[in-house]
Structure 1
Amino acid sequence: MDAGSTPTSTIFLVLRRLRPPLIVLIVIFAVSVLGLTLVPGPLDANGAIQRLSFFHATYFFSYTATTIGFGEIPYAFSEQQRLWVTLCIYLSVIGWAYTLGTVFAMLQDKNFLNAVAVQRFSRQVRRLREHFFLVCGYGETGRLICKALDELGYRAVVIELDEAKVGDLELQSYSADMPALCADAGKPDTLIFAGLTSRYCRGVIALTNDDNTNLAVAIAARLLAPALPALCRAEHTDTVANMASFGTRHIINPFEKFGEYMALALHSPAAYNLLLWLTGLPGTTITRHREPPRGKWVLCGYGSFGKVMTEALENADLPVSIIDRAPPADPTHTWVKGDGTGTEALRAAGIADAVGIVAATGNDVNNLSIVVTARELNPRLFTVLRQNQVANRALFDAFESDFAMVPSEIVAHECLAILTTPLLAPFLDTVRHADGTWAKTLLDELTGRFGWDVPAVWSVAINLAQAPSVYRMLMRHEQKLRLADLLRAPETDRPELPCRALLLLREGDPPRLLPEDEQEVRLGDQILFVGSERARKDLALTLFNGHTLKFVLTGQDSPSGLVWEWLAARRQAREAARI
């Protein structure tokens, strides 16, 4: 059934399927009632033949049809009436059997089940009264996105074409229900039905394995909801160009993104580790990677990912030997024909004197075979391993490669960084272009303070919506507010919150990286923080609650509520009168 159908279509579908049995039941009931009124009954006291009225006949067959069986009313039936009732009972049994068979067949009909699912999905989306993200595609990436959004306290609405994956979503133990619809996300009607134009929708994430579907989602989001951020996955260059020409703000190519990561790791390992730490999935721990060595590299598999990695290595002035089953006639590179799983091709590519190897094929088993064989020939190799399926994580963890390229995790990291914390994107751009010494100093400072567990990263805007207590205080010009004044816990001794300001944006001023504690906070400022989840909640309480803000600033616990404020005012008035 089309997702764009109205919920009333389910009622019409039921009526169409049950029309024949309902007509049969009505005819049997009508004939039975009519016959019972015509069949002569017993003689009354005056010797006249008694006949049932339509009311009594209808009443009798009504409770007979429900097998209640009160007996013969309003008097004992004649033999003719009992013969007619017996015939009608068997006719009604046949009619009800036919009706129930039709109902059971309808309950197993795929179109009916789809109609019911669509109606249920429609109700769930309409009843959402909180912000949500529209996730198109519940594959490995979509599963990671939904899990991370749930841990961060966000809702998601999912569109997935594979019915088995929709069933898998319903089995997950998310803290909040995530409405899911089995439909084609490439159809605009499906997106509208899933809440694309809802005022509660905060963004669209296209994560399907089909670039054309992701392109259709990008176009629909651009035309139907131009104000919403749209994040679209694309693995082919022409699709990326098409999305960009249509004004798609965020296009994520996992191969190109990993190429950027590799280039950053070669240029500034500390900046790469800092980027991984800030954009990691909540609840995970980042492992500090070994720095990629400089020297000769061997690459196996010259596909989309292989081309990106070759370009990244050559841009770093590192020689590359490429192993491929069908090497092109390209004299600019060193080619070896093969797949890299055997020792002959690896030796021909010079694995003995290489410093690193990239297993870039689309087959996880072949990639593991390549790096295991290469390590046997050269134990000191730095390994970059492409993992295509998250289900094979146990095998890849057992090998312990230096770099693991997992497309689903890369896309998930980028989506979460862009959607949940908009200020993180400009800060990460600064990190990518920063000096290696600056990145290392900042990484050591932050990980030394918060550890290597992925921290909470959030942004705050000093406005009426996100910081009402601070906004009102600054509007009244009561006092100047420093950043250090806000970063105090609402506890007895007001300890410093375990968080750090990374970026401050102010209209008309250049971005301020790592603002100091003495930095003045003004209306309209946007600040990016990193720290613990407890610090995020405590800061949110300070920003929203005026009494908490006053306690954090002064240490005085003022009464809250009309009654307590009135009593406090009376006490102050009495004390002033004594003075």
Structure 2
Amino acid sequence: MQNSSLWIVFHKMRMPFIVIILTYTISITGLLIIEGVDSNGNPYHMSIFDAFYFITYTATTIGFGETPYEFTYAQRLWVSFCVYLTVIGWFYGVGALISLLQNKMFLHEISRVRFKRQVKAIRKKYIILLGYNYITSEIIKRLLDADIRAVVIEKDEERVNSLILESYTPTVPVLLDNVHSPKSLEAAGISRLNCKAVVSLFNNDALNLRIGIVSKLLNKNITLAVKATHPKSVNNLNDINAEIIVNPFVTIANELKMAIQSPHLLKLEKWLYQIDTLDAHMPKLPIGRYIVCGFGRMGQSIYRTLKDEKEVDLFFIERNKKKLDGLSERELQNFIVADADDKEVLEQAGVKEAVAIVAFTNNDTVNISILATARKLNSSILTLAREDEMDDVSIFSNAQMNYLFMPSKIIINKITNALINPLADQFARCIMEKDEAWAMHLVKDLLQKIDNAPLLYEMTINEQEAPEVINFLEKSELMLSIFQVSLHNRHQHNNVIPLLLLRSDDTIVLPHWNMPIRQDDKILFACDAYAQNDIEYIAQNPYEFYYALTGEEKTIFKQRLFK
């Protein structure tokens, strides 16, 4: 049945309805059969309406008196019986109604109907988030700040209540249901045109993959933002064309590599994710022995990323021998099977000669203890820690770590940047292939031409965002340099640098100003607020576009001639 809540009402209230109808039928039939007398003493039989009217107010215990005439003793005896009969029927019906209103299945269906109405009322683009926790709550806040609506599906009632108590503005519709259910995703409007993405960030890679497959089957054009922590899971997600795949452990390993080899690349990445400014202090990590505590998913990512780097001598401590299966005898020479939270083990690993110790186990307390012991043995050692629990920030800050890596914050930054600023995310992936000299030159240009915190502005050359450019491209060729022009003085250039040009057949990093623009090009600019305003005016305002193109003010006569 399409309307499940209505079916539940019929199912649960069917017998109470039958009981009430039977009690009324019996009571009314008796009044119709029993003979009474009118005001003149003549025999009288009640009409169906009079009998129904009398039983209606009698059964509800209101009692307006005998009508239309005084009753005989026979009628009064029957009415006495009917009072008990109908009141019992009503008690049963009211009790069944109260039970229905407390029925979890019914309440769930009512909330589902309400949820569907709330989703249907959303006119702006929105994103479906599966599960509600600290990470998704932060993503919701950033989406709302970017004027993107959010819809949540969560199977835990306490977390649903927590979301409701947050009082997001605008309201975030939430459905209490299984996150991987196709019905839930359909209720969330996954097939709607303004539904842009599905976000699944569970710690279970198999669940994330299942959600990804179901989502793509329901809507092949939907954007998937998924967490994966194993290489095999990443490959499986790539097979179903998942657009955004976040592996926090690989990200941390890459950040370590950049901090050692290319600190300016790391500086650019942190600026793109709005974590730091371009002039923030970013010391280069030293070259030498790195003791890594833990060879789980994080440790394995570090090993795969840095094992071939000559500047880094990796040495691992892992207490679970099974995690070392598959390593060669030569590789095992850099491993100790022991508890890293042990003074003698750290000394055996060469902590006194090491330049850094990396505590990346999945236990925050153990990580702090390992680093405290290492510092006692080597006061100059660099300490790097992983923090899983967001509530323990104060503990780690008091421990005075040199570097603190938080997978949760990495996921938040990666996902929000990819959803809100997709070109910036694409640019961040492209610069991973560049070297330190390239990154240093770009940072220098951004600081000199703009400032220490340039704005990121994304634009698509289409009718909605750049109608004047589209009109001109129908008649002639136009260069990217049109967006460099200052509307205050055409002979001066705005503080702007094109970072990325994305077109169907090519991805161009740092495109030249003399590059021709094409329809549907996607362009990422680094600029200040004045340059962003000018770019928007040039793209959308015919007078400003004409001035930027010719250097002359556009009059009504010139407007007709120009057309």
**TM-score computed with the length of structure 1 as normaliser:** 0.83
Correspondences of 1:398-417 after superposition (within 5 Å): 398-417=398-417
Whether the 8 Å contact between 2:485 and 2:493 is mirrored in structure 1 is no
- Greater mean alpha carbon deviation, residues 300-309 or residues 172-181: 172-181
Counterpart of 1:22? 17
Helix, strand or coil at the partner of 2:284? coil
Instruction: Report the alpha carbon displacement of residue 390 of structure 1 after superposing the two structures with TM.
Output: 2.2
- Greater mean alpha carbon deviation, residues 396-405 or residues 106-115: 396-405
**Hey, what's the Cα distance between the residues in 2 that align with 1:413 and 1:249?**
16
**Hey, what's the Cα distance between the residues in 1 that align with 2:345 and 2:474?**
71
Confirm whether residue 126 of structure 1 aligns to residue 120 of structure 2: yes
**Hey, what's the Cα distance between the residues in 2 that align with 1:426 and 1:182?**
34
Q: Pick from 287, 311, 315: which aligns with 1:294?
A: 287
Counterpart of 2:368? 368
**Hey, what's the Cα distance between the residues in 2 that align with 1:541 and 1:69?**
77
Whether the 8 Å contact between 1:135 and 1:159 is mirrored in structure 2 is yes
Correspondences of 1:100-499 after superposition (within 5 Å): 100-280=94-274, 288-317=281-310, 318-327=312-321, 328=324, 330-332=329-331, 333-446=333-446, 457-475=456-474, 482-484=481-483, 488=487
**Hey, what's the Cα distance between the residues in 2 that align with 1:167 and 1:337?**
45
Instruction: Report the alpha carbon displacement of residue 305 of structure 1 after superposing the two structures with TM.
Output: 0.7
Correspondences of 1:28-47 after superposition (within 5 Å): 28-45=23-40, 47=41
Whether the 8 Å contact between 1:494 and 1:555 is mirrored in structure 2 is no
Q: Give the aligned residue type for 2:464.
A: A
Distance 1:65 1:334, change over 3 A: same
Q: How many residues align?
A: 550
Instruction: Report the alpha carbon displacement of residue 294 of structure 1 after superposing the two structures with TM.
Output: 1.0
Helix, strand or coil at the partner of 1:52? coil
Helix, strand or coil at the partner of 1:412? helix
**Hey, what's the Cα distance between the residues in 2 that align with 1:245 and 1:51?**
82
Counterpart of 2:560? none
Distance 1:21 1:220, change over 3 A: same
**Hey, what's the Cα distance between the residues in 2 that align with 1:542 and 1:130?**
26
**Hey, what's the Cα distance between the residues in 2 that align with 1:527 and 1:495?**
21
Distance 1:499 1:124, change over 3 A: farther
Distance 1:153 1:449, change over 3 A: farther
Counterpart of 1:501? 498
**Hey, what's the Cα distance between the residues in 1 that align with 2:83 and 2:278?**
72
Distance 1:348 1:186, change over 3 A: same
**Hey, what's the Cα distance between the residues in 2 that align with 1:337 and 1:481?**
59
Counterpart of 2:46? 52
**Hey, what's the Cα distance between the residues in 2 that align with 1:78 and 1:486?**
102
Whether the 8 Å contact between 1:460 and 1:526 is mirrored in structure 2 is yes
Confirm whether residue 525 of structure 1 aligns to residue 521 of structure 2: yes
**Hey, what's the Cα distance between the residues in 1 that align with 2:278 and 2:144?**
18
Q: Give the aligned residue type for 2:193.
A: R
Counterpart of 1:561? none
Instruction: Report the alpha carbon displacement of residue 247 of structure 1 after superposing the two structures with TM.
Output: 3.9
Counterpart of 1:576? none
Q: Give the aligned residue type for 1:36.
A: L
**Hey, what's the Cα distance between the residues in 1 that align with 2:250 and 2:36?**
91
Q: Give the aligned residue type for 1:347.
A: E
- Greater mean alpha carbon deviation, residues 73-82 or residues 313-322: 73-82
Q: Pick from 496, 503, 508: which aligns with 1:511?
A: 508
**Hey, what's the Cα distance between the residues in 2 that align with 1:555 and 1:74?**
95
Counterpart of 1:562? none
Instruction: Report the alpha carbon displacement of residue 509 of structure 1 after superposing the two structures with TM.
Output: 7.0
**Hey, what's the Cα distance between the residues in 2 that align with 1:70 and 1:232?**
68
Structure 2, unpaired ranges of 5+: 558-563
Helix, strand or coil at the partner of 1:320? strand
Q: Give the aligned residue type for 2:94.
A: L
Whether the 8 Å contact between 2:430 and 2:509 is mirrored in structure 1 is no
Distance 1:37 1:436, change over 3 A: same
Instruction: Report the alpha carbon displacement of residue 413 of structure 1 after superposing the two structures with TM.
Output: 2.5
Instruction: Report the alpha carbon displacement of residue 224 of structure 1 after superposing the two structures with TM.
Output: 3.6
Instruction: Report the alpha carbon displacement of residue 497 of structure 1 after superposing the two structures with TM.
Output: 7.0
**Hey, what's the Cα distance between the residues in 1 that align with 2:288 and 2:162?**
46
- Greater mean alpha carbon deviation, residues 520-529 or residues 313-322: 520-529
Distance 1:35 1:551, change over 3 A: farther
Whether the 8 Å contact between 1:42 and 1:77 is mirrored in structure 2 is yes
Q: Note the aligned Cα RMSD (angstroms).
A: 3.7
Whether the 8 Å contact between 2:294 and 2:316 is mirrored in structure 1 is yes
Instruction: Report the alpha carbon displacement of residue 198 of structure 1 after superposing the two structures with TM.
Output: 2.1
Helix, strand or coil at the partner of 2:345? helix
Q: Give the aligned residue type for 1:298.
A: I
Instruction: Report the alpha carbon displacement of residue 31 of structure 1 after superposing the two structures with TM.
Output: 1.9
Whether the 8 Å contact between 2:153 and 2:176 is mirrored in structure 1 is yes
Instruction: Report the alpha carbon displacement of residue 33 of structure 1 after superposing the two structures with TM.
Output: 2.1
Distance 1:358 1:479, change over 3 A: closer
**Hey, what's the Cα distance between the residues in 2 that align with 1:41 and 1:120?**
53
Instruction: Report the alpha carbon displacement of residue 213 of structure 1 after superposing the two structures with TM.
Output: 1.5
Whether the 8 Å contact between 1:134 and 1:194 is mirrored in structure 2 is yes
Whether the 8 Å contact between 1:502 and 1:515 is mirrored in structure 2 is no
Counterpart of 2:561? none
**TM-score computed with the length of structure 2 as normaliser:** 0.85
